Amino acid sequence: MSASLPQKALGPGIPVMPPQQQTHLPPGLAQQGMPPQGALREISPVYLCRIGQETVQDIVTRTMEIFQITRATQLPNGVTQSQAAYQDRFGKLQEHLRQLTLLFRKLRLLYERCAELKPDLQESPAELIPYVGEETTPVRAEPCSPAVIQERQEVLEKVRQKNQEMKVLMDQMRNLLWDVNAMLTMRK
């Protein structure tokens, strides 16, 4: 991929990546126990995906915290709040939003780096959404033995009989309730 670009080595076996490739990884990756910049070429897409998964979890956590802060914020209803409490909540909200923006940038950079390492994994957005643009295929059942078919018919007939009995009982209960209600109204 970048064999034509000149590379310098920091030491034996540790090549330095060209500057244009170094910018594709977020700066926060080095903080998460990532190898030094010289060994970035050795990073597998699986490792990047794991970091991406952790980043998505951080994004969800930050978003939940933002919603908790906004839920706890009281709307103006004529009562004055202390300016310090307002500034504190506003500062927390601004910090969470800033961190959220950084996490999204980090996730985008991880995605781009994974796409560089494995270009054959590119999917169109329609493929990422399940059941869009395609009909679901019915499940094909294998033919059953005659004994299974007979047993199924017997069970279905029993269910129909029970349903009919329940319907008769419900009609009787409804009529009984009508009679009880009519007697109670006549009593008053």
b/e map 13-28, b = 16+ CB within 10 Å: eeebbeeeeeeebbeb
Query: CB neighbours of 159 closer than 8 A, spacing ≥ 6?
Result: none
Which of 118, 141, 174 is the last residue in one of the domains?
A: 118
Paired residues of 63 in beta bridges: none
Residue 56 included in any domain: yes
**Number of domains comprising the chain:** 2
Residue 67 included in any domain: yes
Predicted TM-score (pTM) of this structure: 0.44
Distance of CA 116 to the CA centre of its chain: 24
Same domain as 109, residue 47: yes
Q: What is the pLDDT along the chain (188 residues), one digit of tens a residue?
A: 444 334 333 334 433 343 333 444 444 444 444 555 555 556 788 888 899 999 999 999 999 999 998 888 776 666 666 777 888 888 998 999 999 999 999 999 988 888 887 776 666 555 555 555 556 666 666 777 888 889 999 999 999 999 999 999 999 999 999 999 889 888 87
Helix-, strand-, coil-residue percentages of the chain, each rounded to 5? 70, 5, 30
**Cα–Cα distance for residue pair 49/114, rounded to 1 Å:** 8
H/E stretch holding 27 reads none
Sign of CA dihedral 68, 72, 77, 79: negative
Same domain as 47, residue 113: yes
